[in-house]
């Protein structure tokens, strides 16, 4: 202490360093000892004000842990990675890839207290300038935010700098996907050689299942008497590996099916446990089915559509049939009505003319 002058206060202590600056120390409640603050001060009064603020923060529970604040962001990655193990395999791979490719190189070794809104802005701008797509930037930003959330909860930082930024990114515009008519669905189904594939196309269009849910469907899931299908599982084909797991929202649901579709499914029932098996009785691989069956049907029919467009088609047909948005949400297995409205309920061709015809009839009644 010969080269440092120290003075005790009613709470904490201040000492003058050889450099002439002042260091404030406060009693850490976790270890019961005085620990230095993260910065030094030009004068004793500034150090005293900092100690007063620190005491208030500790009293009301908003204080940050100075030792944790010096730890790199990577400290919190393993905890976050463990928390996403329940997610779908492809989603999990996307988050891990975003961390390793985009977040970790910039922020992984950086003490969390040094990560601020300006650094996050510069990082975002750099990705955009490098040609990274908006969706990938948003994915990386989401990973950064959620890892930083863990640091906030550990009181390493007071607030999340990923939300304190000026660069704003717009969600990529939704693609203008087609809505098929029942006639279009048949034009796609009829060129398919196998009854299995024709039934699969109709199930996607009139049952509204996700393709992974349809490929996971077992005969035990079909109730021919009630004319329903229980949706409990989904198949995911990632990097050549078939993974069977829960549905996208981890929820089970029962879907009512049209009479004609139930009758068609009855004709397919064989010894396989699966409704839509491959030649070996195992799960169809989506990529193979898309290449060998769907894409050929698109070329032959002239109906430009993706398998997922049949799900939006189902939503729109249900609305046309008089279903409410809530009905469609439950039928499709969405977590909320906003997803149903924003992404799936579209206006099919000719719908406007149908509505005008109905409007003409109403106006004629008042004449």
Q: With 70 as the cut, is the pLDDT of residue 104 above it?
A: yes
Instruction: Kindly tell me if the per-residue pLDDT of 2 is higher than 80.
Output: no
What are the angstrom distances between the C-alpha of 273 and each of 6, 229, 278? 79, 14, 11
| Cα three-residue angle 124-125-131, rounded to 5 degrees | 95
Q: Write out the two tokens for 55.
A: 């005491």
Domains identified in the chain and CATH numbers: 5-54 (no CATH), 73-163 (1.10.150.130), 182-344 (1.10.443.10)
Of the spans 24-38, 60-74, 185-199, which averages the highest pLDDT? 185-199
**Which residue would you say has higher pLDDT here, 177 or 213?**
213
Q: What is the pLDDT of residue 351?
A: 55
On the question of pLDDT at 218 being above 80, the answer is yes
Mean pLDDT of 284-302: 93
Distance CA 155, CA 171 (A): 31
Residue 121's SS3 state is helix
- pLDDT grade for 338, boundaries at 50, 70 and 90: low
Can you state the percent helix, strand and coil of the chain, rounding each to 5?
Answer: 50, 15, 35
CB count in 10 Å sphere of residue 366: 5
Q: Each residue of 253-270: pLDDT tens digit? A: 998 899 999 999 999 987
CA atoms within 13 A on the CB side of 152: 14
- Decide if pLDDT at 133 tops 80: yes
Burial of 27 (0-12, 13-18, 19+ CB in 10 A): middle
Does residue 39 or residue 223 have the better pLDDT?
A: 223
- pLDDT band for position 7 (cuts 50, 70, 90): low
- Token pair of 341 as six digits: 């409205």
Q: In this structure, what token pair is assigned to residue 140?
A: 């990386």
Q: In the structure encoding, which two tokens stand for residue 233, read together?
A: 């599982």
Asked if pLDDT for residue 120 goes beyond 70, the answer is yes
Backbone phi and psi for residue 245, each to the nearest 5 degrees, phi listed first? -150, -165
pLDDT value at 278 more than 70: yes
Determine the 3-state secondary structure of 38 from DSSP.
Answer: strand
Residues 6+ apart with CB under 8 A from 89: 236, 238, 243, 245
pTM of the model: 0.64
Closest by CA to 320, choosing from 359, 350, 363, 365, is 350
Contacts of 211 (CB under 8 A, 6+ apart): 204, 286, 307, 308
Confidence at residue 1, expressed as pLDDT on a 0 to 100 scale: 43
- Look at residue 251 and tell me whether its pLDDT is greater than 50: yes
Instruction: Say how far apart CA 299 and CA 182 lie, in whole Å.
Output: 18
């Amino acid at each position: 202490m010969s080269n440092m002058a120290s003075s005790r206060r009613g709470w904490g202590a201040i000492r003058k360093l050889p450099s002439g600056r002042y260091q404030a120390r406060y009693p850490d409640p976790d270890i019961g000892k005085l620990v230095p603050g993260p910065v030094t001060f030009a004068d004793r009064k500034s150090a005293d004000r900092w100690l007063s603020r620190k005491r208030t923060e500790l009293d009301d529970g908003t204080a940050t842990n100075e030792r944790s604040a010096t730890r790199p962001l990577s400290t919190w990655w393993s905890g976050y990675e463990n928390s996403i193990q329940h997610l779908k395999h492809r989603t999990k791979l996307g988050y891990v890839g975003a961390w390793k490719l985009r977040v970790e190189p910039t922020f992984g070794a950086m003490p969390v207290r040094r990560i601020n809104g300006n650094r996050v802005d510069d990082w975002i701008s750099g990705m955009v300038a490098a040609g990274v797509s908006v969706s990938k930037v948003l994915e990386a930003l989401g990973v950064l935010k959620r890892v930083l959330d863990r640091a906030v909860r550990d009181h390493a930082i007071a607030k999340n700098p990923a939300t304190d930024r000026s660069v704003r990114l717009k969600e990529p515009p939704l693609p203008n996907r087609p809505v098929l008519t029942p006639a279009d669905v048949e034009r796609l189904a009829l060129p398919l050689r196998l009854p299995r594939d024709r039934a699969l196309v109709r199930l996607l269009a009139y049952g509204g299942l996700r393709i992974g849910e349809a490929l996971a469907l077992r005969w035990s899931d079909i109730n021919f008497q009630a004319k329903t299908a229980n949706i409990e599982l989904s198949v995911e084909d990632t990097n050549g590996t078939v993974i069977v797991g829960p549905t996208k929202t981890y929820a089970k649901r029962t879907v009512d099916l049209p009479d004609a579709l139930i009758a068609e499914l009855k004709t397919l029932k064989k010894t396989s446990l699966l409704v839509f098996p491959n030649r070996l009785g195992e799960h169809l691989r989506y990529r193979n089915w898309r290449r060998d069956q769907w894409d050929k049907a698109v070329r032959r029919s002239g109906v430009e559509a993706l398998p997922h467009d049949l799900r939006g088609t189902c939503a729109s047909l249900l609305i046309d049939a008089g279903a409410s948005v809530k009905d469609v949400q439950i039928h499709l297995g969405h977590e909320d009505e906003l997803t149903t409205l924003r992404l799936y309920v579209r206006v099919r061709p000719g719908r406007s003319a149908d509505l005008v015809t109905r409007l003409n009839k109403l106006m004629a009644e008042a004449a």
